[in-house]
């Protein structure tokens, strides 16, 4: 199960029993059983903002996270338990396909869940043809994008065939041997998923052409009913006539000292504004400005829905962006990971967010707050986006449950038109080869004609 997926929203009304593998267990529900793997957090590598520019840093991290989860003793015991059966497996795609073989271990369909917007990497998991996004690019830019994608595809294939293959054998050999199953072909399992559910919306990011088994379900984590604010929090927000800023910058992938420095710089920047600030943070901070209030578990939706909330400060996770648009609150994005930067850039172009890089916090945050508060276009643009996001036939939660049922059918084969297509057919390599052969034949034909032409001229000269 995906770490970031709110199973209580998705399965709150479902009658199925759920086994949730997570390092972040919450309160128990009657139909929910946890497999605790919280010890993996202690050994998970943390990254710095400078690391994201390195080659394959997220792909390497994705393999490590998945490997640690799969090698956890409780997870190994679950995979080797012959009495455990599932109707379907939901696996979070986090830059690695290492969870895909679970479908073969438990002999049931598997579909991917991505907490972020669609990309050519996640789209390829469901036999997408990986078309170019429908962006307004010049020929030069399109050529550059194509060459970049080819370069990235080669790097990812090298990473896939070396790092992931060895991790696959390390994680799954014993469970498969315990069930007397020959280790299946890894590449086949990775690209044999029933479908892909995307916690995003067509409103955000590049406009990809999705195959029938890839669906947007962005917003499924939002509650149908917004709980009322506690009295003291309600009084704080009601009395904040100048406005309220809500800050949520949690991520376990960033090194702790860097996260602390970021929070410290932010609180210093907030001291220069008259707005009240509600900061989600687990630790106690000393010498806080009077307008900054720390809460360990603030009711995010209730805060964002309050009319005095003017700004949401986030790293740029898609779940935060959807929540902000749902409640029409402009954003300030401080990205630390590549996907967060891409998310923020997308909504900056749409005019309801501004981007502040980590090394710009000390001087750009206060200016950014004044810019968003004074410029009404940010609120107007996000109101327009809110109308698009909320205009649906069914709620995202209902869509999630619907596709969960569909994917439990025999692999949802009716939604996978390219299931039997080979790599050659899927990427039109046969057509490309045919074109190259035609060009080669034409070049030979031209050479032959030139040879005959020049030979005839030589004969005429000799006769003359």
- 3-state secondary structure string, 265-286? HHHHHHCCCCCEEEEECCCCCC
Structure tokens at 299: 């009711």
95-109, 164-178, 242-256: the lowest-pLDDT one: 242-256
So what's the pLDDT on residue 8?
46
- By C-alpha distance, which of 305, 324, 323 is closest to 372? 324
Asked if pLDDT for residue 9 goes beyond 50, the answer is no
- HSE, side-chain direction, 13 A CA sphere, residue 103: 28
What are 418-429's pLDDT values in tens digits?
555 565 665 567
Q: From CA 170, how far away is CA 167, in angstroms rounded?
A: 5
Question: Which has more pLDDT, 400 or 256?
Answer: 400
Asked if pLDDT for residue 16 goes beyond 90, the answer is no
Lookup result for tokens 């990011």: 205
153-162, 165-174, 376-385: the lowest-pLDDT one: 153-162
So what's the pLDDT on residue 343?
92
So what's the pLDDT on residue 354?
97
So what's the pLDDT on residue 2?
41
**Contact, 116 vs 216, CB < 8 A?**
no
Asked if pLDDT for residue 128 goes beyond 60, the answer is no
So what's the pLDDT on residue 442?
93
Question: Which has more pLDDT, 135 or 151?
Answer: 151
The three-point CA angle 51-206-331 to 5° equals 65
pLDDT-derived band of residue 51, with 50, 70 and 90 as boundaries?
Answer: low
So what's the pLDDT on residue 69?
92
pLDDT-derived band of residue 101, with 50, 70 and 90 as boundaries?
Answer: very high
pLDDT-derived band of residue 22, with 50, 70 and 90 as boundaries?
Answer: confident
DSSP code string of 280-332: E-SS--SS--TTEEEESS--HHHHHTSTTEEEEEE---HHHHHHHHHTT--EE
pLDDT-derived band of residue 327, with 50, 70 and 90 as boundaries?
Answer: very high
Find the mean pLDDT for residues 72-101: 92
φ, ψ of residue 295 to 5 degrees: the values are -135, 140
Q: From CA 122, how far away is CA 119, in angstroms rounded?
A: 5
Asked if pLDDT for residue 330 goes beyond 70, the answer is yes
Question: Which has more pLDDT, 321 or 12?
Answer: 321
pLDDT-derived band of residue 318, with 50, 70 and 90 as boundaries?
Answer: very high
Please give the mean pLDDT across all residues of the chain: 83
Find the mean pLDDT for residues 234-251: 92
Structure tokens at 327: 């409640």
Find the mean pLDDT for residues 106-116: 90
So what's the pLDDT on residue 3?
44
So what's the pLDDT on residue 44?
62
Question: Which has more pLDDT, 211 or 44?
Answer: 211
């Amino acid at each position: 199960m995906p770490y970031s997926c709110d199973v209580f929203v998705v399965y709150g009304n479902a009658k199925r029993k759920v086994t949730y593998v997570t390092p972040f267990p919450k309160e128990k529900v009657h139909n929910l059983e946890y497999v605790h793997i919280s010890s993996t957090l202690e050994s998970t590598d943390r990254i710095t903002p400078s690391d994201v520019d390195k080659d394959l840093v997220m792909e390497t991290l994705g393999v490590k996270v998945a490997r640690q989860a799969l090698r956890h003793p409780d997870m190994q015991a679950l995979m080797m338990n012959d009495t455990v059966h599932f109707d379907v497996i939901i696996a979070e795609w986090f830059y690695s396909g290492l969870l895909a073989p679970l479908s073969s271990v438990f002999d049931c369909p598997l579909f991917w869940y991505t907490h972020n917007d669609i990309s050519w990497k996640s789209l390829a998991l469901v036999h997408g043809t990986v078309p170019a996004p429908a962006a307004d690019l010049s020929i030069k830019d399109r050529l550059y994008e194509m060459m970049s994608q080819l370069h990235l595809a080669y790097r990812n294939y090298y990473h896939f065939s070396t790092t992931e293959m060895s991790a696959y054998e390390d994680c799954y050999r014993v469970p498969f041997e315990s069930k007397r199953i020959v280790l299946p072909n890894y590449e086949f399992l990775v690209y044999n998923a029933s479908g892909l559910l995307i916690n995003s919306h067509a409103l955000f990011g590049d406009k990809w052409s999705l195959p029938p088994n890839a669906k947007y379900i962005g917003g499924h984590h939002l509650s149908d009913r917004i709980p009322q604010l506690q009295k003291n929090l309600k009084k704080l927000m009601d009395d904040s006539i100048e406005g309220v800023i809500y800050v949520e910058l949690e991520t376990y992938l960033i090194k702790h000292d860097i996260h602390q420095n970021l929070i410290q710089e932010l609180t210093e920047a907030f001291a220069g504004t008259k707005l009240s600030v509600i900061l989600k943070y687990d630790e106690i901070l000393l010498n806080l400005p009077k307008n900054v209030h720390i809460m360990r578990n603030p009711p995010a939706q209730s805060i964002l829905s309050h009319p005095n909330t003017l700004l949401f400060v986030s790293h740029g996770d898609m779940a935060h962006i959807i929540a902000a648009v749902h409640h029409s609150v402009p954003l300030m994005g401080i990205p630390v990971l590549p996907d967060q930067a891409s998310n923020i850039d997308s909504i900056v172009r749409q005019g309801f967010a501004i981007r502040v890089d980590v090394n710009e916090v000390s001087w750009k945050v206060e200016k950014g707050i004044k810019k968003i508060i004074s410029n009404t276009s940010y609120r107007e643009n996000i109101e327009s986006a809110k109308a698009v996001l909320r205009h649906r036939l069914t709620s995202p939660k209902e869509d999630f449950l619907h596709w969960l049922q569909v994917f439990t059918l025999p692999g949802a084969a009716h939604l996978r038109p390219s299931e039997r297509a080979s790599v050659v057919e899927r990427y039109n390599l046969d057509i490309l080869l045919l074109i190259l052969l035609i060009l080669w034949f034409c070049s030979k034909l031209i050479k032959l004609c030139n040879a005959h032409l020049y030979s005839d001229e030589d004969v005429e000269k000799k006769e003359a």
